Structure 1
Amino acid sequence: MADDLSLEDLDRLLRIDRLIRLGQARSTMQLARALAASPPAIQRALLKLRDSYGAPLVVDRVRGYIYKEPGWKLPPLPFTLGELFVLLAGNRILAESEGTLHTAEVRAAIDQLVHQLPSRRWIDLETLRDYLHVEATSRIASFSYEVWTQLYETFESGLQAFVDYAPPGEPPVSRLVNPYLLYIWRGHTPYLIGYDLGSKKFEVLRADRIRSIRARGERFERDPAFDPAPLIAQIAEEQAGTLTTPVSILFSPKAIATLQGRLLHPSQQISLLPDGSLRLQLKVADLNEIKRWVLSFGSEATVEEPRALVEQIQSDLRQLAARYGLGQEVAKKSSVGS
């Protein structure tokens, strides 16, 4: 880590930064009590924050330690992969094992991880601060160290990758992806953002739903116009429970009598096509619910998008075919779009 800063020192520095922003840093003694550290250790951290990281730190007679420029942000720092895993997951694992027979074993294993993977990445300290010091009630996504290393090896290689991804309540589906970005929402939920060669668009994949990643061996060229902002906004909507997914379903002429004149969903848009078929477009929050409804139409309904819904229906059809001894050909002949 840069400047020979230990993980313990970094954790103290990030805690101090958070308390300053919360207006809870009136004095060195108050910080020492809050962090269970000695006043000299707090003083060294404050000097490090000001002199090494350029914090506009001043002492206000009323409020104590404050930032003269409230919008100032912590700079990025280089971390090894092992150090980053310790910061993002190791402290959670230690907290869960504290007081058990496995505490010493877990601590020793995590100490080894710091030195096993020397590859460095520049990491936003704002993200680490939010992760390490979120409220105790925040939901922390669980993800394995194996998947974590696979993620970083994939980004390091610059190659296309097969991602085995399991949507909620569904078996894993293999996707061929050009990995662009590893984004950690609010410091505690990692997402892989990449271009899905199946759906031919950028997709957001939660790391805790990834079962494995395998590099394909074929290098890809990044789109210089790639803008992650809309995808990050999509992640925020998902976390807030307000995310909706556009769905398009094509119905055969036989199914039109069932659909015409009915309000199926507040967002629905219905189009009659020249061949007598009907296209239904709507935005839904729960793909499982719409999946069951589509399957009730049998071969009279074809999902056009999203790809995630297509894959869920294909998976259901394969399982049904196997259960009834019909083989994979039934699923292949299904009318579900791809």
Structure 2
Amino acid sequence: MPVNRNALIRYKTIDACLRNRRRRWTLADLIEKVSDTLYDYEGMEKGISRRTIQADIQMMRSDKLGYNAPIIIVEKKYYMYEDPDYSITNIPLSDADLTRMTEAVEVLKQFKGFTHFEHLNGVVQKLEGHVYASGHDKQTIIDFEKNENLKGLEHLNTIYEAIVNGMVLEISYQSFKALEPTPLDLHGWWLKEFKNRWFVVGAKGRNEEPTTLALDRIVAVKANKEKLYYPNESDYTPQTYYQHVIGPTVMKLRPNRVRIAVTGEHVPYVATKPLHPSQRIIEMAQDRMIIELLVITNLELEREILGFGNGMEVLEPARLRNRIAEKTRKAADLYSTE
């Protein structure tokens, strides 16, 4: 059964009201709330009739749309959900929905071998997991790494929409070293994810060098469509910008040839999961491997190396070797006994 936009807005508004159990909702209250919402979203000034809302409630109670909403009336006056955890947004997928989603997954899987559609791989796997879980009434069999409590995730949608629609971002930004946040305008170009942390890359003005801001250090952000937005007119793309780095930190330095000896149990891990796309194996033995990277030596590279502990030794360049050696000595001092 096709449902028009206004009807969907009414259903969602009634649903939001009935989920709010801190207030008791009469039919008049629901009519007023739905009328206000339609005015805000659609500019409709004409009030909603009593009959319309009553018909909406009956439709939500029925299985015509798959809602089967447990709407009851208490004290012959107040409407509420009998199940306090119910919402029309939580209804399970129907068999028809599962069939269509399964077909969609099969179509998307056809693109997984093409390099132009490599970004679809994660989407396809997530859809496959969701369809399997819904169809078998089980937990998903694919669990992706995530950190839902990470600070700054609430800004993702605002920043994404601003980039897509070409709007200037007005940001209040406070670095870890700053005592107070600083206001700035950013013309966002793209979003970057690294180890579950998100960053926005753009420029503070026309013809300026790219700036990278961490979302977990953004105090507040809003999009301003009145200000003139400067799109990315440089030669930078995410692919070229991060070509010689690990992580989001890009400095205007020449990449270095970094040679690292990998030993012991870490050899197969580094061989099968390279530190960087430029990684080449120079020497290979049973329990020792020497790799070469063409990268800019930044903090993220150092953290990757230090994360392997005594399983990695930087051979060159000397400056990076000395930095890793110094940090390793300081770490060892933390565990030394008097």
Q: TM-score, normalised by structure 1?
A: 0.33
Q: TM-score, normalised by structure 2?
A: 0.33
Q: Greater share of strand residues, 1 or 2?
A: 1
Between the two structures, name the one with larger relative contact order (CA 8 Å, sep ≥ 6): 1
Larger Rg: 2
